[in-house]
């Protein structure tokens, strides 16, 4: 075992995060947490994880549920394809692996939503087997340790990181090592103002030696974030509001949204009484900026509005909480219904 991995393991046992709710002997818990932690911070994930596990305590219970229920539990967490992939994977795991998370790297890669880093995390954290983790925290530690100033978002840099991470793997204690290097990035080797004096591997860190901690990792500037305009209409009738399932591909697929004017012809819209224009709002995704405008309408008798029940539904605020709705819809319902 390299002295690097030894120091990480020793440090983790004393100083690492050892009380996270998914740090159990359950591979199922590890799998769910790793998917939730993709692009999402630990403090955000914890309450969602508790709620999800309480409702779906096993692979079998998840596979026997329905996608709407799973999406509802994911509402507000973002990146909703993760929830869809979890649901699809649970059915595969139940059918092909008798409900047990596979402890084989290549079988894990065959499951929807599981890439190389997530498979490596499950192998090491759930089964204490060899596996390379390359989440954001680990990448930062490795780039600084090696003094690699290549842009982190280049494919060549990613390949170099994987090779370097593989070379540093210990021969045993994979769980402690993987958790340790993630904890080091989260607690010590932070994006800004890293606490290098507390780092167990600072003597092996090129960035510490050369004073490059605040330069590495370097990220190549991306093109300006694209903007998209969304024009929703909030149609209320007494305590009910009309939602439409989004059956188009892309963001928020399969979630419930407000309809827009293009969903109705002028004859249908004539039944509506316009009440007000709500304040516009902005919602930022990782790759896109959404500018959302909302026109609020009132309908005295909701039965006068002809809708396709397969794609539309009237719900009250309490019912909407149990459905899969994205954060902007939830915010509008909470403030204007």
Strands (E), the chain: 226-237, 240-245, 256-257, 273-284, 288-298, 312-315
Give mean pLDDT in consecutive 10-residue pieces for the chain, a chain of 337 residues.
Answer: 89 95 95 94 95 97 94 89 95 96 96 95 96 94 94 90 94 95 96 94 94 87 76 87 86 88 72 80 83 87 79 84 85 82
Between CA 336 and CA 243 the distance in angstroms is: 14
Residue 261 pLDDT: 78
Between CA 315 and CA 323 the distance in angstroms is: 10
Between CA 180 and CA 11 the distance in angstroms is: 7
Residue 174 pLDDT: 96
Between CA 14 and CA 12 the distance in angstroms is: 5
Residue 301 pLDDT: 81
Please, are residues 123 and 130 in contact by the beta-carbon 8 Å criterion?
yes
CA angle 179, 55, 79 (to 5 degrees): 60
Positions marked active-site: 34
Residue 27's nearest CA partner among 87, 113, 90, 75 is 90
Residue 267 pLDDT: 67
First to last CA, the chain: 60
Residue 266 pLDDT: 66
Residue 317 pLDDT: 77
* Count of helix runs (H) and strand runs (E) in the chain: 15, 6
């Amino acid at each position: 075992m390299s002295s690097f991995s030894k120091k990480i393991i020793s440090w983790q046992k004393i100083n690492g995060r050892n009380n996270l709710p998914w740090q159990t002997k359950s591979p199922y818990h590890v799998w769910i947490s790793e998917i939730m932690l993709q692009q999402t911070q630990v403090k955000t994930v914890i309450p969602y994880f508790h709620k999800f596990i309480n409702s779906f305590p096993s692979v079998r219970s998840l596979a026997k549920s329905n996608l709407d229920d799973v999406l509802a539990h994911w509402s507000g967490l973002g990146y909703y394809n993760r929830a869809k992939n979890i649901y699809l994977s649970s059915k595969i795991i139940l059918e092909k692996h008798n409900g047990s998370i596979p402890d084989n790297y290549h079988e894990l890669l065959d499951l929807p939503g599981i890439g190389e880093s997530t498979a490596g995390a499950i192998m090491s954290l759930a089964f204490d087997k060899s596996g390379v983790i390359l989440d954001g925290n680990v990448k930062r530690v490795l780039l600084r340790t090696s003094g690699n100033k290549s842009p982190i978002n280049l494919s060549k840099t990613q390949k170099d990181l994987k090779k370097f991470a593989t070379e540093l793997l210990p021969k045993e204690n994979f769980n402690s090592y993987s958790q340790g290097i993630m904890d080091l990035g989260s607690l010590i080797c932070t994006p800004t103002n890293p606490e290098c004096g507390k780092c167990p591997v600072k003597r092996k860190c090129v960035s510490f030696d050369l004073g490059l901690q605040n330069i590495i990792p370097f990220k190549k500037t991306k093109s300006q974030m694209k903007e998209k305009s969304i024009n929703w209409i909030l149609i209320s009738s007494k305590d009910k509001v009309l939602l439409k399932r989004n059956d188009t591909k892309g963001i928020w697929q399969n979630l419930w949204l407000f309809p827009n004017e293009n969903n109705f012809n002028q004859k249908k819209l004539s039944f509506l009484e316009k009440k007000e224009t709500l304040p516009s709002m902005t919602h930022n995704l990782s790759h896109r900026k959404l500018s959302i405008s909302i026109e609020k309408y009132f309908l005295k008798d909701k039965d006068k509005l002809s809708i396709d029940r397969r794609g539309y539904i009237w719900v009250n605020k309490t019912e909407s909480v149990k459905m899969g709705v994205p954060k902007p819809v939830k915010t509008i319902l909470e403030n204007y219904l």
